[in-house]
Amino acid sequence: MTAPRLEIDLGKIRHNARTLVERLGSQGISVTGVTKATLGSVEIARELLIAGVRDLGDSRIENVEAMRRSRVSARMSLIRSPMLSQASRVVKSVDVSFNTELEVIRRLSFEAAKLDRTHAIILMVELGDLREGLLPVDVMAAVREVLSMPNIVLKGLGTNLACRSGVSPDDRNMGKLSRLAVQVETTFDISLETVSGGNSANLDWAFSSSKTGRVNNLRLGESILLGREALHRRAIDGLHTDAITLTAEVIESNVKPTQPTGVLAQTGFYTSPECEDRGDVAQSILAIGEQDVDLGGLQPPEGCDVHGGSSDHLIVTSGAGRIVVGTELTFKLNYGAMLRAMTSPFVAKSFHCASNVSNLRQIA
Ligand SMILES: *Cc1c(COP(=O)(O)O)cnc(C)c1O
């Protein structure tokens, strides 16, 4: 079979999505399935919809457009603020966009009017993580302005924590979002359909808090795909953490010293942690590198250690002796490694459900 490849178990992804949809649903929270880490994979998008996610979210207009072309039938959100230069495309293929700039919303309004349609927006609020968002003090004025714009519907408020600074969602910042939503509703006599509290970093809070308040939506990518919450990367009870794995092929197998010889300066890319001199070890080179995956985010199989790498090579040592050339090794991945592998044209995507392999697709 083609290597390197991501083995993607659609059954496990469906299970993860359904479990999260059900658990959060019992707390009145809907799930937006985030597809950005999958390059807008149609196969995965379909599983998310079967599992009961309310809608799909992606940060790239290209992914949304690709899913539309493939006839994925769902409401789609653009969860990164639109570029001014892409406003027309956004209005054409996205139902709801997340926004923080009035200038952009004005342009969306203009483009929506040209097409004689309405475009819905969520206003994002900054609550401490210092990525996107209006400052809370500016929200009421922004809402007033948005409500006056033709062909724009204010669908709700949202926030995003943890991604930039690691700020944890808790009753305090989520409570603030809830209070802002209520304040908008009472001041302007409108009702907000969606109060979107965050991402996979919100799950610990959502499962343990008795005060979810007005928060009625989370946007989930990592927790569905990798079965982990995003604050401490702990496995979530009942979810699969191996729905997606990476398989690569050994192209050289030899016994070499653990320590390099010569005067050491900079390396190409990945620098493995300091390693004690273990004498000679069985070292294998796999045909995959930094161009395809974040080597630091790989978890090797039992008995093997990731020992180094470069743009096109991954070096693994194995305690059990030499690995035969041509052997395939399978790794678990963290989010960053998965994201890069999913978007590398050199990594094939092999979709299957349990043991039933189907639809091997290679882009390159
Ligand atoms: C990426 C992203 C998400 C999904 O994050 P996960 O940690 O993968 O669940 C949600 N919201 C926004 C705004 C994002 O950019």
Write down how long the chain is.
364
Q: Cβ-count burial of 273 within 10 angstroms (0-12 exposed, 13-18 middle, 19+ buried)?
A: exposed
Question: Does residue 359 fall inside a structural domain?
Answer: no
Residues 262, 149, single domain; the answer is: no
| pLDDT confidence of residue 319 | 87
CB of 78 shorter than 6 A to ligand 1: no
Which CATH number characterizes residue 162's domain? Answer: 3.20.20.10
Among 226, 256, 280, the domain boundary falls at 226
| pLDDT confidence of residue 275 | 72
Residues 145, 269, single domain; the answer is: no
Active site positions, annotated: 36
Question: Does residue 3 fall inside a structural domain?
Answer: no
Question: Does residue 233 fall inside a structural domain?
Answer: no
Q: How remote is the CA of residue 201 from the centroid of ligand 1, in Å?
A: 9
Report helix, strand or coil for 214: coil
Total domain count for the chain? 2
Residues 138, 281, single domain; the answer is: no
| pLDDT confidence of residue 168 | 97
Q: Which two tokens stand for residue 348?
A: 């094939």
Q: Which residues contact 164 (CB under 8 A, 6 or more apart)?
A: 129, 130, 131
Which residue's CA is minimally distant from atom 2 of ligand 1? 199
CB of 54 shorter than 6 A to ligand 1: no
CB of 228 shorter than 6 A to ligand 1: no
Among 180, 195, 226, the domain boundary falls at 226
Yes or no: say if 316 and 300 are a contact pair by the CB < 8 Å rule.
yes
Whose structure tokens read 């020992």? 307
Question: Does residue 314 fall inside a structural domain?
Answer: yes
| pLDDT confidence of residue 36 | 97
Q: How remote is the CA of residue 324 from the centroid of ligand 1, in Å?
A: 40
Residues 189, 264, single domain; the answer is: no
Among 161, 193, 226, the domain boundary falls at 226
pLDDT in tens, 272-323: 666 788 899 999 999 999 999 999 999 999 999 999 999 999 999 998 889 9
Q: Which of 80, 157, 219, 233 to mutate to test the pocket of ligand 1 (most atoms within 8 A of CB)?
A: 219
CB of 219 shorter than 6 A to ligand 1: yes
Question: Does residue 91 fall inside a structural domain?
Answer: yes
pLDDT in tens, 228-260: 999 999 999 999 999 999 999 999 999 999 999
Q: In Å, how far from its chain's centre is CA 6? A: 16
B/e letters for 20-59, b = 16+ CB within 10 Å, e = fewer, are: bbebbeeeebbbbbbbbbbbbbbbbbbbbbebbbbbbbbb
Residues 16, 152, single domain; the answer is: yes
Residues 324, 222, single domain; the answer is: no
Q: DSSP assignment of 251-317, as one string?
A: EEEEEEESS--S-----SS----------EEEEEEES--TTTS-GGGEE--TTEEEEEE-SS-EEEE
Residues 33, 100, single domain; the answer is: yes
Question: Does residue 21 fall inside a structural domain?
Answer: yes
Residues 83, 206, single domain; the answer is: yes
Report helix, strand or coil for 34: strand
Which residues of the chain are under the pLDDT cut of 50?
355-364
Residues 205, 179, single domain; the answer is: yes
Question: Does residue 179 fall inside a structural domain?
Answer: yes
Which residue's CA is minimally distant from atom 5 of ligand 1? 199
Which CATH number characterizes residue 298's domain? Answer: 2.40.30
Residues 155, 288, single domain; the answer is: no
Residues 37, 159, single domain; the answer is: yes
Report helix, strand or coil for 79: coil
Q: Which two tokens stand for residue 236?
A: 């979530």
pTM of the model: 0.95
Residues 96, 185, single domain; the answer is: yes
Question: Does residue 89 fall inside a structural domain?
Answer: yes
Residue among 296, 247, 293 at smallest CA distance from 270: 296
Range of the domain at 336: 244-352
